Amino acid sequence: MTHSNADAAPLLVENLPLFKSMNFDNGVLDLACGTGRNGLLLASINIPVTFADNSKAAIHRLTELLAGQEYTGECWLVDLEQDVNPLAGKEYDGVLVFNYLHRPLFGAIRAAIRPGGLIFYETFTVKQCEYGKPSNPDFLLQPSELRDCFDDWEILHYFEGERVSPRRAIASLIARRPQLGHE
**What confidence tens digit (pLDDT) does each residue in 37-72 have?**
999 999 999 999 999 999 999 999 999 999 888 788
- What does the buried/exposed string (b/e) look like for 145-172 if buried means 16 or more CB atoms within 10 Å of the residue's CB? bbbebbeebeeeeeebeeeeeeebbbbb
In the structure, what pLDDT confidence band is assigned to residue 156 with cuts at 50, 70 and 90?
A: very high
58: domain range? Answer: 5-176
pLDDT of residue 134: 80
Q: Is residue 183 part of a domain?
A: no
Q: How far apart are CA 163 and CA 139, in angstroms?
A: 18
What total of structural domains would you count in the chain?
Answer: 1
pLDDT of residue 114: 96
- pTM flag (> 0.85): yes
Instruction: Give the max Cα distance, the chain.
Output: 44
Q: Is residue 181 part of a domain?
A: no
Distances, alpha carbon 157 to alpha carbons 29, 100, 133, 137, in Å: 19, 19, 25, 24
Residue 101, Cβ density class (10 Å: 0-12 exposed, 13-18 middle, ≥19 buried): buried
Q: Is residue 143 part of a domain?
A: yes
In the structure, what pLDDT confidence band is assigned to residue 1 with cuts at 50, 70 and 90?
A: very low
| Residue 12: CATH number of its domain | 3.40.50.150
